Structure 1
Amino acid sequence: MNKDTDNRNMIYFLIVSMALLAFYQFFVFGPQQKKREAAQVAAAAASSSAAIAAGLPVGGVVAVPLTREQALTQTPRVAIDTPSLKGSLSLKGALIDDLYMIKYDRTVEKKNDPVELLTPANSKSAYYVVSGYNFQNIPNAPTIDTVWTVASGTTLSVGKPVVLTYNNGAGLTFTRTLSIDANYMITEDNAVANATPQAIAFAPYSMVVRNGMPEHAGKEAVVHEGAIATSSKTLASPKMGDYRTDSLKYKDMAKPKDGKKLEKKDSIGGWYGITDKYWMAAVIPNQSQAVQYTARADLLDGVPVFRSGYVDNAVTLAPGQTWKAQSHVFAGAKQNTQLQVYEDTLHIPRFHWAVDWGMLSVLTYPMYWLLDKLYALVGNFGLAILSLTVIVKLVFYPLAHKSYESMTKMKQVQERLKPKLDAIKKRHEGDPQKTQEATMALYQEEKVNPMAGLGGCLPMLLQLPVFWALYKVLMLAIEMRHAPFFGWIQDLSARDSTTLFNLFGALPFNPATVPLIGTVLDGPLHIGIIAILYGASMWLSQQMTPMTGVDPMQKKMMSFMPIMLTFFMTQVAVGLIIYWIWSNILTILQQYSIMHRLKVENPIDTGIKKVRDMMDKGKKAA
């Protein structure tokens, strides 16, 4: 056989072999490979459903809790150091669990003693943020006990991110890049690389966990404290206006049998966390991501464990692929201005609702905005409160003026008819029914409506929602915390430090240390200067308010209100009492101007007259 024939046969052989290989690939191996891939995808899809159905993992309670200092030494850590936050994150579980807010001191008396926000997971009052993955049948998948490795970075600070990695030893590599701003927002960039020969499924999650009921829980009835969740009302391309904010109080969540909860609710984006009066920790998914969120408490060994967070829709990751996603963690002070910045720049829906504006938000939010502007203008939060009160009084001046004028004119009529009314009482003494009938007949004869005075109260009632909204604003304003006023008032958010029982500080002892009754003296009987001034201003305001058509018994009961509220105000923040005192003073001035102009008897004119008479007698005696 010659050489050309051999070459031709070789070419024929290669062509036939390639044809057979193509036939096998297309009709045999290809379909089999597709079946195997379909089986892997089906298995991954089933695993995905199981992963997302798993929901948020239940946190635990440490049998023998460690002190904070002990807990910090138990795990390797990476420091956190910014102008607003200091602390560390735990490499075990990649937890954000050690944070102090260095711009806020715990007390006025002690400086450089920052407020603690987050606490290590294995301590008694654990409070932390954890982000992880729900897997099904994946060996060595990362859990809260997994120790991550620092790939780069030594301290998490502004402009200096930290990169954490974990390799499960079976083809899966997890990477988490953490970055932080100068305020309270942490950005998490997560990645999962699949170098295994099969598809895997997982559901990313992130949540805030808090062990035990906080000491302050339930003390602030007006301001919400507990779980908070902002979610979309629709899953079809929600707009900013399609989001709602739900909140659950600590005590309502921790009830043993019927504790309130939000369990596996669907949303697109949103944010979920646990909030106190001034501080909050929240987890924030990508705002285009479909999630299931949960806010609930589980009783473990009699201790409520609060959880608030979300699980992403499950991810199916094919061999050779890498999944990436970005989310955020907020941990810090609820400053309205800063919350608004995050809401606008990161497109977080209703993020400023971390501040509890309440059902009267249409009033509370504008008032807060105005108060903040006044504070920036006058530089003293107490003066800002006084200025805002004046503005509110001016807005309602026409309405209040009409009300007080109506009641004063009715009192004027009653003073004019007083001789006739006294004669009726004397004539029908001992017969209330005939006295009432004769009185009504006199009113009809004089064409007087005895209910006119009460009608004047209606405009005043219309003002109540506004004054309630102002009260709430002062309760939730973080700017009032540790804000000084004048003199001994160094914290407008705290109660008055003076007390009657040591002559307002003149005597060198603390009534709280008195045996047996110290708790009472320092509690409901802690009557300070500000509370006494409030009681006096309320009494004078009450005396200046003409109460026509009011039952005598009701008048007597109302006369005790200044005394009762004086004791009540002993435990109220000074800033709130100053607001009420100033409001009472403005009301007194307004009432006086009307009564003096209409020449109606009033306590101020009567008092001035008595003082002048006494001075005249003194001069004559001299």
Structure 2
Amino acid sequence: MDNQNKNLILAVALSMLVILAWSFFFPPPEPTPEQIAETAPNSQTATGDTASVPTAATGTDAPTAATAQPTVNAPRINVESSVVEGTISLLGGRIDELKLKNYRQDLKEGSDIVQLLKPTSEDGAYYALYGWAPGAGLSTELVPGPNTIWEIESGETLTPDSPITLKWQNGAGLVFRREVGLDENFMFSVKQSVQNNGTGTVSLAPYGTIARHGEPADLKNFFILHEGAIRHVGGELTETDYDDFESARNHEEYPVGEKGWAGFTDHYWMTTLIVDQPDAEISAFKDTSRNIFQTTAKHKTETLAPGQSAEVSSRLFAGAKEWETIRNYQDDSGVPKFLDSIDWGWFFFITKPMFWLLHHLHAFLGNMGWAIIGLTFIIKLLLFPLAYKSYASMAKMKELQPQMEKIKEQAGDDRQKVQQEMMALYKKEKVNPAAGCLPILLQIPIFFSLYKVIFVTLELRHAPWIGWIKDLSAPDTSSIFNLFGIFPWAAPEPGTIMALVFIGILPLLLGITMWLQQKLNPAPSDPIQQQIFGWMPWVFMFMLGSFASGLVIYWIANNTITFTQQYLIMRSHGYKPDVFGNIRSGFKRVSKDKE
């Protein structure tokens, strides 16, 4: 392989090294105490106030109730299913307490269940509420809003088999009802209705809102992951970071189109309003005075004469971003492009089918670690035709190594003559020195796509493999520091300098497999390049020690399969690599030097 092609591979490898180094040395910043304090609700919001809701009828903001009752004093209705538990407050009919029963904060024994929604009495309040914005003939006090105290008309506990109905009368002839249902997973159904029993015509508009008091305390702020507002309206997906929210007084409203959805997405969890009415509008904005982020779905204004009624139905997804669950909502429940709520990244055309295959391998093998290894086998099988040509070319290059060295000796410092005679040799022997570059280049998007899949998908979170590997989305917890668990002291915390130095078993295996694979490739003619390539396996070994175990397992499997393929193919073309003989020779030289 000539210097030009060696430089190409070197540039690609160094680019990957720069990206890995950046991820390690410049991780997402931890929130400071000041930032955490900013995200906590202030005394005003803790008493039950919420961000104001745009009014469809007037185009102005509905005022916030001045004398809100504390959320903790309002009656509550229990919510219970096989996957969630929580309560609904009769203050505003808020869905404001929801826990995900199948997920825990960490792997420690007795760890708390993940809590998604929180009432305003807690830090980081996060909830969904519904109401009606007043139009002609009505004032704010005559429509149900964030602080209306509802009464229970039917139902005691909200379960998949028993919906509940709330009722409120405004004392001026309007009777409001809200029926809330829940399926077996994370989808709430909300039907809002109003009956005009008064003597005058009124106008009013139903809305649904998701409000979040401050940024989440566990915000990752990592460049490959979107956290913040997300919406799919008019056939287009839009993501908005918390830093980019428009103000409450200066924001746009987007027509839903035929169907749409909008809300907030975290790393693994999501809360979204799902609207099926084409005349609805969706907006996202921030109340900067109280640091409240809000997503609102506003339905068309209803004008009701005496005796008339109106109703509108919508849905609320509040739960885990499980691929299969979200796919079923998309395919079976008509939520358009709902799988795009998972951040698949720029290489979505690779990450989506890659996770689809990984998901089904997991279903077949019963373990995500073995599924990653199975995925590696399939990827290598698909790339085998290219790999075969590449390794056959490398075998030929290895055979031509003596002739190439002879050309360099004869030409001396005349680089032009070296290049000319090298090209003549390649042409004569029908060797393509660039044949080995394509498989390497194809591995780059595959590697980053798998990195994306492992980082963003919930299915890898807390997924065990074997022995000490309890979480494939986290770094290897073993360490040379305690001789991989033989000594009684604990291993360094992942992400620390100590953890970088005292690597675990998986990074060590990665370095060894990279080094073995490198021994089969033609050595660069340039001494400096030889040194860089020689150090590269060990540099990558330390750099990848802080990466997710699932990614390291993929790379180890990929290196092992590549080494085996390359070794067998090169032997079948007449070249017999003596990798292990070189290792023995190296040990003998070391022993001789010591003597």
2:224 to 217, 222, 233: 222
1:81 paired residue number:
80
**2:349 equivalent to 1:369:** no
Q: CA separation of 1:435/1:601 partners in 2, compared to 1, >3 Å: closer, same or farther?
A: farther
Tell me the amino acid that sits aligned with residue 162 of structure 1.
I
1:270 paired residue number:
260
**2:221 equivalent to 1:246:** no
2:551 paired residue number:
576
Residue 217 of structure 1 aligns to a residue whose secondary structure is coil
Matched residue count: 530
Deviations 1:304-327 (A, max 9, x none): x32223111222122211111111
Higher alpha-carbon deviation: 319-328 or 470-479: 470-479
Structure-2 separation of matches of 1:564 and 1:219: 26
1:292 paired residue number:
281
Q: CA separation of 1:440/1:525 partners in 2, compared to 1, >3 Å: closer, same or farther?
A: closer
Residue 583 of structure 1 aligns to a residue whose secondary structure is helix
Structure-1 separation of matches of 2:403 and 2:466: 47
Tell me the amino acid that sits aligned with residue 261 of structure 2.
W
**2:439 equivalent to 1:464:** no
- Once superposed, what is the RMSD of the aligned Cα atoms? 3.3
2:515 paired residue number:
539
Structure with the greater relative contact order (CA < 8 A, sep ≥ 6): 1 or 2?
2
Residue 329 of structure 1 aligns to a residue whose secondary structure is strand
1:341 to 322, 328, 333: 328
**2:353 equivalent to 1:396:** no
**2:397 equivalent to 1:410:** yes
1:557 to 528, 532, 537: 532
* Rg larger for: 1
Gapped runs of 5+ residues in structure 1?
Answer: 1-47, 63-70, 233-242, 426-433, 618-622
TM-superposed CA distance for 1:608, in Å, is 6.5
Structure-2 separation of matches of 1:249 and 1:526: 36
- 2:56–2:298: 8 Å Cα contact kept in structure 1? no
Deviations 1:471-525 (A, max 9, x none): 3223333222222111111111222122232333333333659xxxx98445644
- 1:76–1:90: 8 Å Cα contact kept in structure 2? yes
Gapped runs of 5+ residues in structure 2?
Answer: 1-53
- 1:496–1:528: 8 Å Cα contact kept in structure 2? yes
- 1:56–1:207: 8 Å Cα contact kept in structure 2? no
Structure-2 separation of matches of 1:127 and 1:568: 38
Higher alpha-carbon deviation: 140-149 or 289-298: 289-298
TM-superposed CA distance for 1:56, in Å, is 8.8
Structure-2 separation of matches of 1:226 and 1:547: 48
Residue 311 of structure 2 aligns to a residue whose secondary structure is strand
Q: CA separation of 1:555/1:214 partners in 2, compared to 1, >3 Å: closer, same or farther?
A: farther
Tell me the amino acid that sits aligned with residue 154 of structure 1.
E
User: Normalising by the residue count of structure 1, what TM-score does the alignment of the two structures yield?
Assistant: 0.77
Q: CA separation of 1:467/1:569 partners in 2, compared to 1, >3 Å: closer, same or farther?
A: closer
**2:86 equivalent to 1:90:** no
Deviations 1:145-176 (A, max 9, x none): 11111112111112111111111112111110
Q: Give the fraction of aligned pairs with identical amino acids, expressed as a percent.
A: 34
**2:487 equivalent to 1:510:** no
2:165 paired residue number:
163
Q: CA separation of 1:582/1:249 partners in 2, compared to 1, >3 Å: closer, same or farther?
A: farther
Residue 253 of structure 2 aligns to a residue whose secondary structure is strand
Structure-1 separation of matches of 2:315 and 2:350: 31
Deviations 1:257-299 (A, max 9, x none): 9x9x9731122230111111221111112x2331221123443
2:125 paired residue number:
126
- 2:152–2:165: 8 Å Cα contact kept in structure 1? yes
Tell me the amino acid that sits aligned with residue 510 of structure 2.
Y
Structure-2 separation of matches of 1:519 and 1:441: 50
- 1:381–1:484: 8 Å Cα contact kept in structure 2? yes
Tell me the amino acid that sits aligned with residue 510 of structure 1.
A
Residue 482 of structure 1 aligns to a residue whose secondary structure is coil
- 2:454–2:548: 8 Å Cα contact kept in structure 1? no
Q: CA separation of 1:324/1:595 partners in 2, compared to 1, >3 Å: closer, same or farther?
A: same
Residue 310 of structure 1 aligns to a residue whose secondary structure is strand
Tell me the amino acid that sits aligned with residue 216 of structure 2.
P
TM-superposed CA distance for 1:391, in Å, is 0.6
- 1:229–1:295: 8 Å Cα contact kept in structure 2? no
Structure-1 separation of matches of 2:562 and 2:294: 48
Structure-2 separation of matches of 1:577 and 1:143: 52
**2:315 equivalent to 1:328:** yes
Deviations 1:180-218 (A, max 9, x none): 111111111111111222221122211222222223323
Q: CA separation of 1:440/1:519 partners in 2, compared to 1, >3 Å: closer, same or farther?
A: closer
Tell me the amino acid that sits aligned with residue 291 of structure 1.
A
- 1:291–1:310: 8 Å Cα contact kept in structure 2? yes
User: Normalising by the residue count of structure 2, what TM-score does the alignment of the two structures yield?
Assistant: 0.81
2:270 paired residue number:
280
Deviations 1:226-249 (A, max 9, x none): 2110111xxxxxxxxxx2221123
2:205 to 203, 206, 228: 203
TM-superposed CA distance for 1:400, in Å, is 1.8
1:442 to 381, 402, 421: 421
TM-superposed CA distance for 1:603, in Å, is 6.0
Q: CA separation of 1:612/1:561 partners in 2, compared to 1, >3 Å: closer, same or farther?
A: closer
2:112 paired residue number:
113
